[in-house]
Amino acid sequence: MNQKEVSSILKIAENFSIEGNPVAFKAVGSGHINDTFQIFTDKLHQPNYLLQRINHYVFKDVEALMQNIQIVTEHIRTKLIAEGADVVDKRVLTVIPARDRSLYYRDENTDYWRAYILIEPTKSYDVLETEHQAKEGGRAFGRFQGQLTDLDSNKLKYTIPNFCNIDYRLENFHQAIQQNKALRKDEVQEEIEYIVQREAQMRAILQMAERGEIPLRITHNDTKFNNILLDENDKALCVIDLDTVMPGYVAYDFGDAIRTIINHAAEDEPDLSKITLNIPLFTAYTDGYFENAHHFLSTHEIRSLIEGVLLFPYMQAVRFLTDYLDGDIYYKVQHKTHNLQRTRAQLSLAFEVENRREELNDIIHTMAAKHLMDIR
């Protein structure tokens, strides 16, 4: 970041309805899409803020995006207040409007920005370590889905249409192969073959939906573990990164969360021998999830969860490889082969979960039974 950009971050923060004057900032987070900054003000005992540059290439309709987030956070806030929850502002994101009351601010470079209350002290983990963290993660996403079961989905726009639709992702993938924009096709033949061989079996969730077995609910659709804020005692406080909250299937959220939780290694681990399954963390997450989700999940939805576990490392690999073939236009990358490295790591994970499908499914069923769910 150059000096001009540094001074401009604080200036941008001034355009939001914040208390006090912004005096310092720090870039944070390891997200692949937005740019995130903590903003500190000169007002003691008032909140600090979280400023984000919204990736406008990814989110084409920022107005609709921010409306969705406002609707979702207000729905959750109303529930928390009705329940008598403590520290409500730490349990749900609070959007800070711009000084003109708009939910975002557009600067002179036509970049889009938004601000939230900075929830602190908190931590978010790219790779988690303890069963306690995993269980808290399951509780957090189970609670989040539960809080939204009675929100009318017609109120929400699709911020990215077909976001978790594997048919759509594979269509894009085949188009990228055909176009071969970055001239990288020849070096990824093995990966392409692996993906193509499994296309049909990855339609399991869509087939359940086509048969009318599983309902569309409002889901988060980006349930990476680092999208949960935990407090100093590793208790989950708040689900964040609400850009993709849209109608979806519960197996999507379960599968994407497990993708990051079950992996002993990082999402982009270059040493594939390190990509092994962490069964205790998987079990703990599942336990926490059912604790808060058992009251609304149907039998078919519970049966669909394993399909989400199989789908998400695969679909993520399809998305990373599509971007690699396109020349790295979607995800932030740190080096030239980063998307390929990510693809290989995710395919290794997909291979591991595929081989242990029965064992994982048994754990899901055991945990469902523990929470008195009828899955016959």
Residue closer to Mg ion by CB (options 48, 227) is 227
> In the set 22, 31, 137, 288, which binds Mg ion (CB under 5 A)?
31
| Binding region for ligand GN1 (CB under 6 A) out of 29-37, 171-179, 282-290, 364-372 | 29-37
How does 91-129 read in b/e, with b if 16+ C-beta sit within 10 Å? Answer: bbbbbbbbeeeebbbeeeeeebbbbbbbbeebebbeebe
Q: Are 339 and 323 in contact (CB under 8 A)?
A: yes
> In the set 9, 13, 33, 318, which binds ligand GN1 (CB under 6 A)?
33
Residue 28 to residue 376: CA distance in whole angstroms? 46
Residue closer to ligand ADP by CB (options 139, 220) is 220
> In the set 15, 223, 227, 304, which binds Mg ion (CB under 5 A)?
227
Pick the closest to residue 116 from 231, 229, 212 (CA basis).
229
Regarding 241 and contact with ligand GN1 (CB under 6 A), the answer is yes
Residue closer to Mg ion by CB (options 31, 308) is 31
Cβ-count burial of 271 within 10 angstroms (0-12 exposed, 13-18 middle, 19+ buried)? exposed
Q: Using CB under 6 A, list all residues that contact ligand ADP.
A: 28-29, 31, 33-34, 36, 50, 93, 116, 118-119, 122, 124, 226-227, 229, 240-241
317 Cβ partners below 8 Å, 6+ apart?
191, 195, 342, 343, 346, 347, 350
DSSP string, 328-365: S-SS--SSTTHHHHHHHHHHHHHHHHHHTHHHHHHHHH
| Binding region for ligand GN1 (CB under 6 A) out of 27-35, 71-79, 187-195, 205-213 | 27-35
Q: Which residues from 35-74 bind ligand GN1, rule CB under 6 A?
A: 58
Residue at token pair 């931590």: 123
| Binding region for ligand GN1 (CB under 6 A) out of 31-39, 103-111, 169-177, 357-365 | 31-39
Regarding 266 and contact with ligand GN1 (CB under 6 A), the answer is no
- Could you report how far apart the first and last alpha carbons of the chain are, in Å? 56
* Sites of contact with ligand GN1 (CB under 6 A): 31-33, 58, 222, 224, 227, 241, 243-244, 267, 316
* Sites of contact with Mg ion (CB under 5 A): 31, 227, 241
